[in-house]
Amino acid sequence: MRLVLLGPPGAGKGTQAQRLQEELKAPQIASGDLLRAAVRNKTSLGLEAKRYMDQGTLVPDELVLKLIEERLRDPDAARGFILDGFPRTLAQAEALHEMLERNGQGLDLVVALIVPEQEIIKRISGRRTCKNCGAMYHTIFDPPRNVGLCNKCNGELYQRDDDAEDTVKMRLEVYDTQTRPLLNYYQDRGLLKRIDGVGSLEDIYHRIKSAIEEVSTKGGCAQKP
């Protein structure tokens, strides 16, 4: 299954993608995680990307495309993947289409998580990530067993710098102007499924799973779940 998760920051893409990995036996590929790793490793790409990420604006397409193209070449992505946070611009969507087409492949499904802005701000302010393994938590909706520590690896939980309120507002604006047009783009290609992203993690997960099953039974996907 080649799946894209679309939605504004804080819509729950990362949380759902982490869970879907096991179900679909396909890796989550999160452009934000790839970029944060490049920043941590102080690569030249990472250093350039950091300025944009700190402001909450988009990293230039060519930098993101380089990372994604490399990651899609890894053997674990050969039979399917869950893209989280990519594509974010029409140019990225076109480039992804071309990358896949070169290998005779295409996307099976694009899920757009629909969440009102007020809910997003509430969610992002409580969001915490494990420094060590990247697992995600929420101080209210999905708290770790021990405050500040990851359930999986006991790593320290932190709040991302770009989850500060002003940066979040900028990221939501950027989503509206640059990423939202992708909904129509994928709708026109018959790939889009809009899913209500409000409710329990479990409910949202089941909504996504139903959409995947619908596509799988229609046939034509890269790998059935």
Count residues near ligand AMP (CB under 6 A).
16
Is 53 near ligand AMP (CB under 6 A)? yes
Marked catalytic residue, from 123, 127, 128, 193: 127
Contact 115, 12 (CB under 8 A): yes
To the query of whether residue 123 is one of the catalytic residues in this protein, the response is no
138 secondary structure, DSSP code: E
To the query of whether residue 171 is one of the catalytic residues in this protein, the response is yes
Is 85 near ligand AMP (CB under 6 A)? yes
Segment near ligand AMP (CB under 6 A), from 49-57, 72-80, 95-103, 205-213?
Answer: 49-57
DSSP secondary structure letters along 85-148: S---SHHHHHHHHHHHHHTT----EEEEEE--HHHHHHHHHTEEEETTT--EEETTTB--SSTT
Is 58 near ligand AMP (CB under 6 A)? yes
Is 56 near ligand AMP (CB under 6 A)? yes
Pairing of strands 28-30, 81-84: parallel
Segment near ligand AMP (CB under 6 A), from 20-28, 81-89, 103-111, 191-199?
Answer: 81-89
Is 82 near ligand AMP (CB under 6 A)? no
Residue 54 to residue 136: CA distance in whole angstroms: 20
Per-residue binding string, ligand AMP, 166-195, x by CB under 6 A, is -----x------------------------
Pairing of strands 127-130, 157-158: antiparallel
- Name which position in 24, 59, 93, 208 contacts ligand AMP (CB under 6 A): 59
- Establish how many alpha carbons lie within 13 A of residue 106's alpha carbon, considering only the half-sphere containing its beta carbon: 8
Cβ atoms within 10 Å of 118's Cβ, excluding its own: 8
Catalytic residues: 13, 88, 127, 160, 171
The residues that touch ligand AMP, with contacts defined as CB under 6 A, are 9, 31-32, 35, 52-53, 56, 58-59, 64, 85-86, 88, 92, 162, 171
